[in-house]
Chain A
């Protein structure tokens, strides 16, 4: 996609974002006894049957695959909370609900690997999808604000996947606007192509000073 050649704009693939999300902690209920695991990223355990413990998602999924634990879905991943979130998302066209930064990835991973541990999975799944759609729609609306004079769009509570998707577009769009705004840039654009981001940073300041 956009600007793959330029390291500034390179996108993470969905898998890469998911990989990053796997470091999020989640609660599991092991069904085996195991000593604490001492890993580079921290110590987890001890694992005692039927006693909940916190582990990173990747470990939870690995254990789940071997049938060694059940995953306790996070509190926000319940029909009740999601319904609330969805309603709130729908009600306020500007504000984004504070969902976990990796909510898309976490829910996806849990839907893939821990279907039996999530009550009302169909409902939860459709709610998450709805929330995601509503939010993407809202992002699109918000991004319509980018115009000639806008140098920034402020959107709070965006999640990793959402940021990842809009990043190339936003950066390029802002740059394009900047370029068209300042005639001197058009001449130099080719030569300064690599430094564009830095230059772009200076512009708002100049405008403010005026």
Chain B
């Protein structure tokens, strides 16, 4: 091999002392940076004009021992014997900051590939990992026993390798900060000679770590196992003190204590060239854009060795993606994963800023960082794909965003373009495919199924919201590419569309627990494609492209195959019931879809319901399912929720409207609902659906009818009134069903009673607002709707207090009619119904005595509310009299008297026009006998309703007082 000599130029005056010097190229090979450990200055040279005076940075107070340049060449870091690490802007060289300080000299610095993190180490015990944005110490890695002289971030940003002067190499895992491999004594021990440093380096592909060995060689270690792979051994007669990989990883340059530099072909494991120098070369750097190597010796003299690799061989930069393009379009910023989530995008956006506007990269925190990070994360997912692909993905992503940016407009335009063709089949609770991101296949009140495509197959995870109860399901690798899924307590079902001829559509069911092993099953469909799947108690349903509804049992038995009328839109299962939505016909000329729904009861083999599915004009169906009570519900793209109620022999009731919520910046992605609340995920406007990460949180919204704004100004009450009505009819329907089935209905009865009581309270408040709004006819109508007698009395009391004697008279008439009817009924059949009535009236009596005594205490005889039984002002005198009697009785036996009184009262009303005499005493005994029999049966509802009554009486009182006050004024 030929031996040439190279002319070196002095960069640093080392005063004849050999000291460690550093040399670096910037990214585009426009600058060379040098430093020396016996010189306080850093020089930035222009390699094209070597005779020009370099740009000299004098900020350190002692020799500069380490240099590092951020990967995008916008930030230079230097470490010094003066214990400080400084950052400069590059190539300008303006001092930025002292990013950290040590207690002993710094020996090594390294940037990670994204530039967000700087590792610094030296004679101190630990390696500091520093966030370059804010200078915070992310981590300190302790484990070396001697001064640390070399640091290298793995190009895949997973590991950090470090070496110390006694020859120990440690590989750290950045995620956890643990030392995963400690290799002791594999490199030469250099002792206290500060002019050489043990160094180490990762190959550019990150697969091997190269470390100077003990036998004057370079040893290659495996990335993950840290096993010795091979070594480069040849003509070095003394230990190697520096090594550097060519940018493409084909060649390694090594410099030994024997003052020669060797170039190795790594694949051949052979040295291909060498150069002898006068002094020991302590640092080398491959030119990033050509066939050249910059070297600096221990005397501070540097030079560039051109044409290092013979022209017959591949260039050291061949096979690299073009650095120019890489840098100019800023893709470098995205192609790397960050070891620490908190630091991502930090320096790189600094770099980008200064690149575009030549603004100094300041330490100021960037507010847009979060936005930036989003794109970063997305792109990180593509890191395995090649650059052009990344770019195309980015583009498509941007286009996608732009479209979404238009918000609802965008959506509508998309819809309108789709609509003439009728909407595609969809799975309720699924989100669309987003490249490189996890998405929901199914999200319901129970849990979620998510998938992410990765290298041609997908990973599917099943999570339950209630982690303590739901079974733990291991994540699975999906080779089919499932796009449809459904989930319930017992299992999950998956299906994929057919892709080409060899990949048939498959349906797979996975139970979460089963007594038999291998109870998972799958079905394949030839010439047919699964469009929608649904799951219920012990059955699985799939609707296919041939409009077949196939029903399987939990064990995989093919139970039924039905033919549906039209192409399926969606399907949903709940216990025994399966609801399927199909297209009934082509779209109307107005572009409105014609959808039809059917509800099947699988266990009975019946079709329970069938009808048209209403949609808001110009919208499409976006969610379809059952409420927690089993009511059928639909949600369309205009944000209207409809619930199938049994009023008017079954009809769809619009129960929620997103436009009424008046939060235009939010979209609601429905998950489920119960009797009074809608569960949905709120998405900020451009987004129409949630992402898997961060885990979405359910929001509860109140159901409300889209009521017209009435002159009453009590929309909330009117809405409550309507909702209660609906609930009542639901409950009644269920009671009927239960009774028909011969089941016990007491629970439902109680529920119905509670709803009735709530409804009466609501009506009373409505009456109050009607009276205040002078809508007396409406108030009278409302009184007729009151279900409980005591409520009617309450209403009378209310209007009396409101000084509407006219209305009170009218109400009294209504009450009389009612009582007459009831009294007859009571005597005729003291059955369940009357029983309830009796108990209720008893309560009224209880509460009434309360209020009446109260009012007597207040002692406002003319205005005070008389006992409701004689509510109209005409009977005040009698009322007083009775009140007295009542108070006495109360002292005797409260409960019994109260009940007795009611019966007495019934009679009273009958007789009240005839005579003003009181029959109470006599009747107490009579009625007492009768009522005691009934009383024990009704004890339970008594307890419940009494609290209600107290509430109500207090409401009356407050109303009354308010009106009194206004009256006095």
Contact = CB atoms under 8 A, between A and B. Distances in A.
A167 interface: no
Given A51-B700, A70-B695, A72-B697, A126 B134 contact: yes
B343 interface: yes
B2 interface: no
A31 B343 contact: no
Contacts of A68: 467-468
B322 to A, nearest CB: 34
A165 to B, nearest CB: 24
A67 to B, nearest CB: 8
Interface stretch (B353-361, B362-370, B818-826): B362-370
B467 A32 contact: yes
B136 A122 contact: yes
A182 to B, nearest CB: 49
Interface in B685-701: 694-700
Nearest to A122: B342
B469 A33 contact: yes
A79 B343 contact: no
Contacts of B134: 123, 126
Given A122-B340, A126-B134, A51 B468 contact: no
A70 B697 CA distance: 11
A32 B469 contact: yes
Contact of A32 (B136, B138, B365, B468): B468
Nearest to A31: B467
Interface size class of A (residues with CB under 8 A): 20 to 34
Contacts of B365: 79, 83, 123, 127
A83 to B, nearest CB: 5
Interface in A95-138: 119-123, 125-127
A29 interface: yes
A197 interface: no
B343 A49 contact: no
A50 B557 CA distance: 35
A52 interface: yes
B888 to A, nearest CB: 40
Interface size class of B (residues with CB under 8 A): 20 to 34
Interface in B400-426: none
Given A29-B697, A72-B697, A79-B370, A49 B341 contact: no
A33 B466 contact: yes
B118 to A, nearest CB: 14
B811 to A, nearest CB: 39
Given A32-B469, A123-B342, A50 B370 contact: no
B367 A80 contact: yes
A148 B736 CA distance: 87
Interface in B660-679: 679
Given A31-B467, A79-B369, A80-B367, A51 B343 contact: no
Contact of B697 (A52, A79, A121, A122): A52
B698 A50 contact: yes
Contacts of B133: 123
Contact of A31 (B468, B679, B699): B468
A121 B136 CA distance: 12
Contacts of A123: 133-134, 342, 365
Nearest to B468: A32
Nearest to A49: B465
A31 B465 CA distance: 6
B759 interface: no
B131 interface: yes
A125 B365 CA distance: 13
B683 to A, nearest CB: 15
B844 to A, nearest CB: 30
A50 B447 CA distance: 9
A195 to B, nearest CB: 49
A33 B698 CA distance: 14
Contacts of A67: 467
A51 B699 CA distance: 6
A122 B367 contact: no
Interface string B126-151: 00000101101010000000000000
A28 to B, nearest CB: 10
Contacts of B700: 51
Interface string A27-47: 001011100000000000000
Contacts of A50: 465, 695-698
Contacts of A32: 466-469
B376 to A, nearest CB: 13
A121 to B, nearest CB: 6
Contacts of B342: 120-123
A27 B468 CA distance: 20
Interface string B438-473: 000000000000000000000000001111110000
A120 B341 contact: yes
A119 B134 CA distance: 16
A50 B448 CA distance: 11
A51 B672 CA distance: 12
Contacts of B136: 122, 125-126
Contacts of B343: 122
A73 to B, nearest CB: 12
A127 B135 CA distance: 12
Nearest to B139: A122
Contacts of A126: 131, 134, 136
A49 B694 CA distance: 15
B370 A80 contact: yes
A126 B131 CA distance: 11
A41 to B, nearest CB: 24
A67 B696 CA distance: 17
A199 B136 CA distance: 49
Contact of B698 (A51, A83, A122, A127): A51
A168 B242 CA distance: 60
B138 A122 contact: yes
Nearest to B464: A49
A165 B599 CA distance: 68
A145 to B, nearest CB: 31
Contacts of B694: 119
A174 to B, nearest CB: 38
A70 B700 CA distance: 18
Interface centre among B138, B342, B343, B694 (most CB of A within 10 A): B342
A29 B136 CA distance: 31
Contacts of A127: 365
Contacts of A49: 464-467
A78 to B, nearest CB: 9
Interface string B687-721: 00000001111111000000000000000000000
A122 B134 CA distance: 10
Contacts of B367: 79-80, 83
A67 B369 CA distance: 30
Nearest to B344: A120
A11 B635 CA distance: 59
B940 to A, nearest CB: 22
Contacts of A51: 679, 697-700
Nearest to A70: B695
Contacts of B467: 31-32, 49, 67-68
A120 B465 CA distance: 25
Contacts of B340: 122
20 contacts: A32-B469, A33-B469, A49-B464, A49-B465, A49-B467, A50-B465, A50-B696, A50-B697, A51-B697, A51-B699, A51-B700, A52-B697, A67-B467, A68-B468, A79-B365, A80-B367, A120-B342, A120-B370, A123-B342, A123-B365
Interface of B: 131, 133-134, 136, 138, 340-343, 365, 367, 369-370, 464-469, 679, 694-700
Given A50-B696, A52-B698, A70-B695, 18 more contacts: A33-B468, A49-B464, A49-B465, A50-B695, A50-B697, A51-B679, A51-B698, A51-B700, A72-B697, A79-B365, A79-B367, A79-B370, A80-B367, A83-B365, A122-B138, A122-B343, A123-B342, A126-B134
Q: Nearest 10 A-B pairs (CB), nearest first?
A: A49-B465, A122-B342, A49-B466, A32-B468, A126-B136, A50-B465, A31-B467, A51-B698, A50-B698, A120-B342
